[in-house]
Amino acid sequence: MTDAGARRSVFWPTLLAGLGLAVLLGLGTWQLQRLAWKEALIAEIVARRAAEPLASLPRTMDPALEFRRASLAGRFLHDKEMRLQSRTRAGRPGVELVTPLALADGSVVLVNRGWVPTEKAAPEARPETRTEGEVRVDGLVRVGERLGWATPANRPNDGLWFAADPAAIAAFAGLDAVPYLVVMEGEGAALPRPRAPAALPPNDHLSYAVTWYALAGALAVVYVLAIRRMRR
């Protein structure tokens, strides 16, 4: 084969291999960037959880308060309770109770108190959950839940809430509530059952980066072996 013919025979394999390597190396580098971002995010969440619990929440949104802990004293407004649908616990269907908490300073905070089974969803079926008088609520501050692609839209007029949207719940209930949701966490058999402590976000970006770089290395080896064979 002439030199010109040899160059033509390796042009397309070289071009395709080069493009493939660029894509694979780019994906690996992107995952390393995501790794740095995720590690910073996890460190921030850990620091917020470890900070002194908040005794009150501002009436304006501050995203930096998400994942902070709160310890609030107030009185539950049971007549304004909302129920989040399609919540399961150990395979049992049920709902989660979101009850406004009126604080001494006049503000109102929405509290996710936890899960009850479907047969206990109606307030009259669980009088033991309607705590009267002043209570202490310890929980994690969240800015609300986002509707996923598979989550039905909230239907307030039908009493069907599928995602906790503090602003929408407060507006529907006619409350001047702060724009946060406090999620109670813990264990126990009493109803409502608080959520288990929230896990930290998963961080698999290093393994993804290694995978992309390994694929790039494999492609380079295959390319070199193929070119050697073509030139024999």
Q: What is the pLDDT of residue 76?
A: 96
- Going 39 to 44 to 47 to 53, the CA torsion angle's sign is negative
CA distances to 59, 136, 170 from 164, rounded to whole Å, are 18, 21, 10
Range of weakest confidence among 16-20, 141-145, 157-161, 185-189: 185-189
pLDDT, residue 221, reads: 95
pLDDT tens, residue by residue, 103-147: 998 999 999 999 999 999 999 999 999 989 999 999 999 998 877
Q: Is the pLDDT of residue 45 over 70?
A: yes
The DSSP secondary-structure symbol of 104 reads: T
69 burial type by CB count under 10 A (0-12 exposed, 13-18 middle, 19+ buried): middle
Report field, pTM of the whole predicted structure over 0.85: no
Tens digits of per-residue pLDDT, 163-198?
899 999 999 999 989 999 999 998 877 899 999 888
- Domains of the chain, residue spans: 18-47+204-231, 68-184
